[in-house]
Amino acid sequence: MADDPDGRSTIGLRDAGPFPERIARRPGSPGHPPRRLPAGSRGRWSLLAAVAPCPVSLPPAVLPREIPTDTQTLADYLDTLLRPGDFRDYCANGLQVEGQRNIRTLVTGVTASLALIEAAVARGAQALLVHHGLFWRSAPGVLTGWRRRRLAAVLAAELNVFAYHLPLDAHPELGNNTQLGLRLGLARGGSLDAAGLVAVGELTEPMEARELAARVAQALGREPLLAGDPARVARRVAWCTGAGQSFIEQAVGRAEVFLTGEASEQTVHVAREGGITLLAAGHHATERYGVQALGEHLAARFGLEHVHVDIDNPV
Ligand SMILES: [Zn+2]
């Protein structure tokens, strides 16, 4: 998540170097069984509903690659899957820029930066799917400088741009929180908020916060910032990817460790005085996985070629 995509605070994270680009296998190829998500309940999920299955039934790939997916079909499918209408967000979610009609190659990435747009164009993609899109409610209503260059590159290539912010953080299977938890061995047991933006789960084996920090460092390829007691024994962990530092207050008394992407100056004091250990593992680093999982899902469902491009960001 992001409070302000244009002005982020840094937390001095070590830059672990470029993250390898991942190229999803084509559906049906060995080792890539089509992802199937179960049918289930609809609507905004509550604490109990946070572990409810995905709202739509998602069959495996049914379209041969010779038949491209059209933009509107993909837009409708994504809106049904991610339900952006259930969220009050800082941006418009869904198809942000309409490009060419037929889509064969999909590039995914965290932020629709110029570097990512150019990478998508270089790979011959017809669609770009991101977590942080091009348009934010806090932005000035003008297109100059770097904003103009981003959009000019998109329009010149007739590139479709899809962006999902909070709906992608919260999705119970493909979302950033759930996908990060999977990489850290954190089984999601629910959420601390009604929108599902703050996940909570138990560690299979209790460990000191510093041991969990080492696990995070290994999984994400960079050292997290740790504030509070490093020797606190963690059983229950709350986490929120991206700029989730303000949610630490909801986690006080309900988890021993709070993991998020960014930290603010006051977050450290809340951790120290609230009896909870903070791990801030990087906004970008914690939000790499939802969009990858979603891209792989779409590739399997629609027979698309999917390429995930990681434009490294030390924040
Ligand atoms: Zn974010």
Q: What pairing do the DSSP bridges indicate for beta strands 305-308 and 22-23? A: antiparallel
Residue 10 lies in a domain: no
3-class secondary structure, 142: coil
How close is the Cα of 277 to the center of ligand 1, in Å?
22
Q: Which helix (H) or strand (E) covers residue 162, if one does?
A: strand 160-163
Do 273 and 304 share a structural domain? Answer: no
Distance from C-alpha of 71 to C-alpha of 264, rounded to nearest angstrom: 39
State whether 156 and 293 are in the same domain. Answer: yes
Residue 3 inside a domain? The answer is no
Tokens of 215: 């696990």
Q: Are residues 89 and 105 in the same domain?
A: yes
Ligand 1 centroid to Cα of residue 166, in Å, is 8
Q: Count up the domains in the chain and report the number.
A: 2
How many angstroms separate the Cα of 289 from the Cα of each of 72, 210, 239? 25, 23, 14
Q: Give the distance (Å) from ligand 1 centre to CA of residue 301.
A: 26
Q: Based on the domain organization, do 58 and 95 belong to the same domain?
A: yes
Distance in Å, CA 223 to ligand 1 centroid: 19
The answer to whether position 115 is within a domain reads yes
If you measure from the C-alpha of residue 243 to the centroid of ligand 1, how many angstroms do you get, rounded to a whole number? 6
Q: State the maximum Cα–Cα separation within the chain, in Å, rounded to a whole number.
A: 59
How far, in Å, from the CA of 190 to the mean position of ligand 1?
A: 21
Asked if 200 and 255 sit in the same domain, the reply is yes
Co-location of 28 and 158 in the same domain? yes
Average the pLDDT over 64-72 and give the result.
74
Reported as a single tens digit per residue, the pLDDT across 280-294 is: 999 999 999 999 999
Please identify which residue in the block is written with the tokens 């703050």: 198
User: How far, in Å, is the centroid of ligand 1 from the Cα of 145?
Assistant: 23
User: Same domain, yes or no, for 28 and 92?
Assistant: yes
Residues 106 and 124 placed together within one structural domain of the fold: yes
169: in domain = no
Query: Can you give the pLDDT at residue 68?
Result: 72
Confidence grade of residue 5 (pLDDT, cut at 50, 70, 90) = very low
Q: Are residues 245 and 148 in the same domain?
A: no
In the reported structure, the alpha carbon of residue 31 is separated from the centroid of ligand 1 by a whole-number distance in angstroms of 30
Same domain, yes or no: 247 and 226: yes
CA 131 / ligand 1 centre spacing (Å): 7
Confidence tier at 188 by pLDDT (50, 70, 90):
confident
Specify whether 153 is located in the same domain as 296: yes
| Greater model confidence, 187 or 150 | 150
Residue 314 in domain: no
Cα of 1 to ligand 1 centre, how many Å?
3
- The bridge status of strand 187-191 relative to strand 199-208 is antiparallel
313 falls within a domain: no
Domain holding 110: CATH number?
3.40.1390.30
Assess if residue 247 is contained within a domain.
yes
Buried b (16+ CB within 10 A) or exposed e, 42-75: eeebeeebbbbebbbebeebeeeeeebbebeebb
- Over residues 114-139, the mean pLDDT reads 97
What pLDDT was estimated at residue 38?
36
Confidence of residue 225 (pLDDT cuts 50, 70, 90): very high
Q: Is residue 270 part of a domain?
A: yes
Do 215 and 248 sit in the same domain of this protein? yes
- Domain hosting residue 34, numbered range: 22-164+289-308
